[in-house]
């Protein structure tokens, strides 16, 4: 099991044991439950080796093909990003003016949105 997956499984196990101890009113030994849970986790990991390997391979394959929104926009060209930013800035200024905000404040809002989009 990958270290990150093992850490997450341990975190969930500790939370579950803590909840069980709380429900039992402290009448349950948390260390015994944790030990049993870890043994069960090791047993499950051993039985599911083939399935886990397929899962990890799928994760690696998905991560290899993944790209961030910024990368996608850079590949598409900067024209799309500029257009989206301009429309958002104009919409912010227009919406403010439609609500009766003075033109200077509305224009400032548009500039802030444009700067954030840039």
Ranges of residues in the chain with a pLDDT under 70 are 67, 69-70, 72-78, 80-81, 118
Contact 110, 93 (CB under 8 A): yes
pTM over 0.85: no
Residue-wise pLDDT tens digits, 6-25: 899 999 999 999 999 998 88
Residue-wise pLDDT tens digits, 84-98: 788 888 888 888 888
The pLDDT assigned to 88 comes to 85
Contact 33, 20 (CB under 8 A): yes
The pLDDT assigned to 76 comes to 61
Query: What is the C-alpha to C-alpha distance for residues 38 and 55, in angstroms, rounded to an integer?
Result: 21
Mind spelling out the 3-state secondary structure of the chain?
Answer: CCHHHHHHHHHHHHHHHHHHHHHCCCCCCHHHHHHHHHHHHHHHHHHCHHHHHHHHHHHHHHHHHCCCHHHHHHHHCHHHHHHHHHHHHHHHHHHHHHCCCCHHHHHHHHHHHHHHHC
């Amino acid at each position: 099991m990958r270290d990150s997956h093992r850490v997450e499984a341990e975190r969930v196990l500790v939370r579950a044991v803590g909840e069980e101890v709380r429900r039992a009113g402290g009448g349950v030994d948390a260390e015994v439950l944790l030990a049993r849970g870890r043994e069960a986790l090791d047993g499950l990991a051993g039985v599911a080796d083939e399935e886990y390997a397929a899962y990890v391979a799928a994760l690696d394959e998905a991560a290899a093909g993944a790209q961030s929104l910024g990368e996608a926009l850079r590949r598409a060209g900067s024209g799309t990003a500029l257009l989206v930013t301009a429309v958002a800035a104009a919409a912010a200024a227009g919406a403010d003016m439609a609500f009766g905000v003075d033109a200077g404040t509305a224009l400032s809002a548009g500039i802030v949105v444009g700067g954030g989009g840039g």
